[in-house]
């Protein structure tokens, strides 16, 4: 492969001539973990962990992965913190997951006065040769992730060992370029975080609006769902596991339970083969209808945007006598309540008699139903626009990381 001028081919790919390769061991000031503090018996004797705020934050990988509120983390007392002195945190350290989902890397930021590492994390303190934030971004590139996961693949136990970490190769530009790269990516992260906070705020506002708009008021009617729509369950068997029934070029597809737990991407099937299956009226749902999941993720309503077929994990609300979008938002509002009343077995499920007997509060005037639905729909549209922008920023960041951290794009010319 021809390498363009100013670049060189290395064991981890093509990089600029003035970049150098180092092993992680070369940029370490310290690599340690919880186990370095003492034997299992001495740790058990000297470390006390609390579910409420104490002297020091006991930092677990789950706290970092979920960006947990300090109300939902664990703490240790002062005596325990002093015993765990080899793994105390001051901010700016890299934390690597030792077992489980290898490839997870975190740049630690102090949120309490004192903090210490819990089990299942490596603590890396970086020397002056590079910057922790630069390495953090590198380890989240394809090159960094491939190296981490290849080390994991070499272990029969599915773990990352200290020597594995030390042997990983990192490409380092001169320090001024490292700083410039880290600043650009950090600014992008700030934009992403600001959008995520805005989205969370909008979701809370929408939830409050639903509480206010859908709460029964004087003059409203209370009816059972079975009185305002014919509720029909999808049919069995479920053919969705057999790929021979699917053809991405068709406009008709089966909705899966997994579709309601993530983005609604509908699998499609050929009309001819659906005909061969002898589709019942309960299976086929034209676009613009309201369906709801009744097993696993129970009570999740969906307004269909295309013609679909449903299996027995869904019901369809046929010919509702009230505004369809009002019904959709009411079902969204009570979604969390279904799990309290559903049947339990291998997984939570709802039956049609239970759904039929569930009460709904309805404004008598169709105009008010439309007004409420429109208000909430406008909020949803605003949220969708923000979420779309967030995804674009995340994709932009990924592209920037791949280009900046391999030197394909230079912020500082050599």
Average pLDDT value for the chain: 88
DSSP one-letter string for 382-397:
HHHHHHHHHHHHHHHH
Token digits for 83? Answer: 């015993």
> What DSSP character marks residue 334?
T
* 407 close to 173: Cβ distance less than 8 angstroms: yes
Q: At CA 73, angle to CA 71 and CA 76, rounded to 5?
A: 115
Confidence of residue 413 (pLDDT cuts 50, 70, 90): confident
- pLDDT for 153 equals 59
Between residues 319 and 306, the one the model is more confident about: 319
Do the bridges between strand 121-126 and strand 13-16 make them parallel or antiparallel, or are there none, so unpaired? unpaired
Question: H or E element: which one contains 360?
Answer: strand 359-362
Give the Cα separation of 380 and 203 in Å (integer): 9
Domains and CATH numbers, the chain: 20-172 (3.90.220.20), 174-216+365-414 (1.10.287.1120), 221-362 (3.90.220.20)
* 203 close to 397: Cβ distance less than 8 angstroms: no
Torsions phi, psi for 311 (to 5 deg): -95, -170
Asked if the peptide bond before residue 237 counts as cis, ω within 30 degrees of 0, the response is yes
* 79 close to 46: Cβ distance less than 8 angstroms: yes
* 125 close to 93: Cβ distance less than 8 angstroms: yes
Q: What is the pLDDT of residues 193-233, one digit of tens each?
A: 999 999 999 999 999 999 999 999 999 999 999 999 999 99
DSSP one-letter string for 208-221:
HHHHHHHS--TT-E
- pLDDT for 270 equals 56
- pLDDT for 100 equals 84
- pLDDT for 265 equals 45
Give the Cα separation of 283 and 267 in Å (integer): 15
Q: What is the pLDDT of residues 142-164, one digit of tens each?
A: 999 999 988 775 555 678 899 99
* 56 close to 154: Cβ distance less than 8 angstroms: no
- pLDDT for 247 equals 52
Torsions phi, psi for 60 (to 5 deg): -105, 160
- pLDDT for 154 equals 57
User: For residue 56, is pLDDT > 70?
Assistant: yes
Give the Cα separation of 224 and 226 in Å (integer): 5
Contacts of 207 (CB under 8 A, 6+ apart): none
Give the Cα separation of 223 and 136 in Å (integer): 56
Compute the average pLDDT of residues 397-412: 93
* 48 close to 79: Cβ distance less than 8 angstroms: yes
Q: At CA 336, angle to CA 334 and CA 337, rounded to 5?
A: 65
Between residues 269 and 43, the one the model is more confident about: 43
- pLDDT for 240 equals 47
Torsions phi, psi for 5 (to 5 deg): -60, 140
DSSP one-letter string for 151-210:
HHHT-TT-B--HHHHHH-EEEE--HHHHHHHHHHHHHHHHHHHHHHHHHHHHHHHHHHHH
- pLDDT for 238 equals 52
Compute the average pLDDT of residues 40-68: 95
Cross-strand bridge partners of residue 15: 8
* 55 close to 114: Cβ distance less than 8 angstroms: yes
- pLDDT for 298 equals 87
Q: What is the pLDDT of residues 259-314, one digit of tens each?
A: 665 444 455 555 555 556 555 556 788 888 999 999 878 888 999 887 888 888 89
Cross-strand bridge partners of residue 293: 314
Q: Which of 198, 192, 105, 98 is nearest to 395 (CA)?
A: 192
Token digits for 250? Answer: 């068709």
- pLDDT for 69 equals 92
Compute the average pLDDT of residues 236-243: 52
Q: What is the pLDDT of residues 104-138, one digit of tens each?
A: 999 999 999 999 999 999 999 999 999 999 999 99
Computed on alpha carbons and rounded to an integer, the radius of gyration of the chain in Å comes to: 28
Question: H or E element: which one contains 339?
Answer: helix 335-341
CB atoms near residue 59 (< 10 Å): 24
DSSP H helix total and E strand total for the chain:
13, 22
Token digits for 359? Answer: 């009460």
Q: What is the pLDDT of residues 338-354, one digit of tens each?
A: 877 655 554 567 888 99
Confidence of residue 237 (pLDDT cuts 50, 70, 90): low
Confidence of residue 335 (pLDDT cuts 50, 70, 90): confident
3-class state of residue 273 by DSSP = helix
């Amino acid at each position: 492969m021809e390498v363009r001028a100013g670049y060189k081919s290395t064991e981890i790919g093509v990089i600029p001539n003035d970049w150098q390769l180092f092993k992680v061991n070369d940029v370490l000031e310290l690599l340690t973990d919880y186990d370095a503090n003492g034997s299992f018996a001495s740790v058990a004797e000297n470390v006390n962990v609390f579910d409420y705020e104490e002297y020091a934050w006991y930092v677990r990988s789950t706290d970092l992965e979920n960006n947990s509120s300090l109300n939902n983390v664990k703490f240790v007392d002062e005596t325990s913190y002093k015993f765990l002195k080899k793994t105390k945190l001051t901010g700016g350290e890299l934390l690597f997951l030792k077992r489980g989902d290898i490839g997870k890397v975190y740049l630690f930021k102090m949120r309490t006065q004192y903090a210490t590492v819990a089990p299942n994390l490596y603590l890396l303190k970086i020397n002056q040769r590079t910057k922790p934030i630069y390495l953090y971004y590198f380890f989240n590139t394809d090159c960094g992730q491939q190296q981490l996961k290849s080390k994991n693949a070499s272990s029969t136990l599915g773990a990352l060992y200290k020597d594995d970490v030390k042997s990983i190769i990192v490409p380092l530009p001169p320090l001024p370029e490292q700083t410039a790269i880290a600043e650009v990516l950090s600014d992008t992260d700030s934009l992403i975080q600001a959008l995520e906070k805005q989205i969370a705020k909008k979701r809370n506002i929408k939830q409050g609006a639903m509480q206010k708009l859908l709460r029964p008021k004087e003059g409203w009617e209370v009816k059972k769902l079975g009185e305002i729509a014919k509720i029909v369950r999808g049919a069995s068997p479920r053919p969705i596991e057999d790929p021979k029934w699917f053809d991405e070029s068709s406009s008709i597809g089966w909705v899966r339970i997994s579709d309601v737990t993530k983005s609604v991407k509908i699998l499609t099937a050929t009309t001819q083969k659906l005909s061969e299956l002898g589709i019942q009226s309960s299976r086929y749902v034209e676009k613009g209808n309201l369906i709801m999941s009744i097993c696993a993720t129970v009570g999740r309503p969906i307004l269909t945007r295309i013609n679909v077929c449903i299996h027995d994990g869904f019901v369809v609300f046929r010919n509702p006598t009230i505004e369809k979008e009002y019904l959709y938002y009411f079902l969204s509002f009570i979604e969390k309540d279904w799990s309290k009343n559903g049947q339990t077995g291998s997984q939570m499920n709802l039956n049609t008699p239970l759904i039929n007997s569930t009460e709904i509060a309805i404004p008598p005037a169709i105009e008010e139903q439309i007004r409420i639905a429109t208000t909430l729909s406008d909020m949803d549209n605003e949220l969708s626009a923000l979420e779309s922008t967030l995804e674009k920023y995340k994709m932009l960041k990924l592209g920037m990381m791949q280009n900046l951290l391999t030197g394909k794009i230079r912020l500082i010319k050599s």
